[in-house]
Structure 1
Amino acid sequence: MNITIVNFKGGVGKSMIAHQLISGFGFNGCEIDPYGSLSDRLPDRVERIDIQQKSIERPKKETIFDFGGFDDIKLDQAISYSDLIIIPFIPTLETIQGTVDTLVRVASANKPILMVPNMSQKENDINDAKFVFEDTLGFEVEMFPIPMSVALQTAINENRAVDELTKQGGIKAYAYKKSSKLMDDLHRKIREYESV
């Protein structure tokens, strides 16, 4: 399956999720973000699309489109090639409006949407965001929360899948197990959309 990861708000975890899916689960990547570093970190797996480029070629299967915080025609193309849209967001008042703008923009494509509250700390914040999103759209959205995690940030910094870090042994392995399980659960949740 192909997946578009998008939010017009920056710093919400788009590239972190893309990195973990590509490095840990064998996806290919297509980086459509002039400020992104995914193609530098994973050059054998990720193709960078120039901001001036007008179109995206049909990708191989199992491709993640990591879309930067902007809107243009390539977003429509990425979504048309995708089976699922993932919208990461941080459940705070400051990021909700940008996320609503993104949701409204992509909802008309009639593709499944998985909301990923990233760095979530309070369940009430997630529930409030869910209410706003569903009230705006008029239909239910599914949430997959990712709690605040130093392990995931470390995995990005070390340019490795968090699952790989669990295999190091010792205290470090224990610290990464929870985040590794979370990424496995996210991957399983994504695969549920294959049959939709």
Structure 2
Amino acid sequence: MIISIVNEKGGSGKSTLAINLATKFHCDGNDIILVDADPQRSIEHFLNFRDENLDLPFNSVSKLGETLAKEIKNLQEKYKIIIIDTGGRDSKEMRQALIVSDIVIVPIIPSGLDISVFEKMVGIIAEAKIINENLIPLIIISKASPNPFLEKKINDLKEYLNNKDIEDFVVSKNILFEREAFKNAIFEGKGIVEIENSKAKDDFLKFFVELDDIIKNKGIL
């Protein structure tokens, strides 16, 4: 199974989500590798934060360039699950990831600018589905403010996503709120599932259960 995490807009929480998904799958006993296809090498920086006395939370490799899709195919011979973290721009790495993936997760922040960029992402994913017909696009509201006074922004985005006619796109019922626990975990080199109970951990696990249901219902894994 190949899951890519994409958004042309930077700062949407792609790397944080990739790290936490990879850690969770690894903790569940899966053979997994996280492919860092982001020139900023966010995954490498994350792993450098991890205590040297702790085992790595997942296998990882950095892959950039026009051979990404071919190299991902080679990795499938060894790993049951591959997660691809892409950069915050329209790149050859992002487009190649879409071609080889089973699921593409698009995290989107409740803001006007992110919504305008998302419109373009819909087009890019639609193009990828011409080649990769079975690709499942999954949209998740990410880095949403937990401040109740800003709840309208979240509700407006929910309404926009649910009312927009986006064929074959799945809109997550869950939300990943911007919580300090996510940031603290990253700076400890840990996935959110490796820390004490928190609202951030609860948010993530609810989304993971939803993702797992999609995987099982579609017979992907």
TM-score, normalisation: structure 2: 0.74
Structure 1 partner of 2:81: 62
Residue 100 of structure 1 contacts residue 136 of structure 1 at CA under 8 Å; is this kept in 2?
no
- Equivalents in 2 of 1:137, 1:92: separation in Å? 19
- Structure 1 pair 163–74 and aligned structure 2 pair: CA distance change class (3 A): closer
State how 1:73-84 maps to structure 2 within 5 Å.
73-84=92-103
Letter in 1 for 2:187: N
- Structure 1 pair 34–17 and aligned structure 2 pair: CA distance change class (3 A): same
Partner secondary structure for residue 195 of structure 2: helix
Query: Identity of aligned pairs, percent?
Result: 26
- Equivalents in 1 of 2:33, 2:208: separation in Å? 14
Q: CA deviation at 1:135?
A: 2.6
- Equivalents in 2 of 1:80, 1:138: separation in Å? 18
Residue 66 of structure 2 contacts residue 92 of structure 2 at CA under 8 Å; is this kept in 1?
no
- Equivalents in 2 of 1:37, 1:73: separation in Å? 18
Q: Does 1:135 align with 2:164?
A: yes
User: Over aligned residue pairs, what C-alpha RMSD do you find?
Assistant: 2.3
Residue 34 of structure 2 contacts residue 61 of structure 2 at CA under 8 Å; is this kept in 1?
yes
Residue 46 of structure 2 contacts residue 187 of structure 2 at CA under 8 Å; is this kept in 1?
no
- Equivalents in 1 of 2:208, 2:46: separation in Å? 21
Greater mean alpha carbon deviation, residues 179-188 or residues 74-83: 74-83
Structure 1 partner of 2:144: 120
- Structure 1 residue runs of 5 or longer lacking an equivalent are 167-175
Residue 119 of structure 1 contacts residue 148 of structure 1 at CA under 8 Å; is this kept in 2?
yes
Q: Deviations over 1:88-139 (max 9, x none)?
A: 1111112111122112211341422221111213443234334444536356
State how 1:4-153 maps to structure 2 within 5 Å.
4-26=4-26, 27-42=32-47, 45-50=59-64, 52-56=65-69, 57=71, 58=73, 59=75, 60-108=79-127, 109=129, 110=133, 111-121=135-145, 122-133=150-161, 134-135=163-164, 137=166, 141-143=170-172, 144-153=174-183
Q: Deviations over 1:33-79 (max 9, x none)?
A: 111320343486211113x4433311332111101112234334322
Q: CA deviation at 1:160?
A: 0.5
Letter in 2 for 1:188: V
- Equivalents in 1 of 2:120, 2:176: separation in Å? 21
Letter in 2 for 1:181: D
Q: Does 1:162 align with 2:192?
A: yes
- Equivalents in 2 of 1:138, 1:113: separation in Å? 10
Residue 104 of structure 1 contacts residue 137 of structure 1 at CA under 8 Å; is this kept in 2?
no
Residue 68 of structure 2 contacts residue 93 of structure 2 at CA under 8 Å; is this kept in 1?
yes
Residue 163 of structure 1 contacts residue 177 of structure 1 at CA under 8 Å; is this kept in 2?
no
Partner secondary structure for residue 67 of structure 2: coil
Count of residues paired in the alignment: 186
Structure 1 partner of 2:213: 192
- Equivalents in 1 of 2:126, 2:213: separation in Å? 19
TM-score, normalisation: structure 1: 0.82
- Equivalents in 1 of 2:97, 2:59: separation in Å? 17
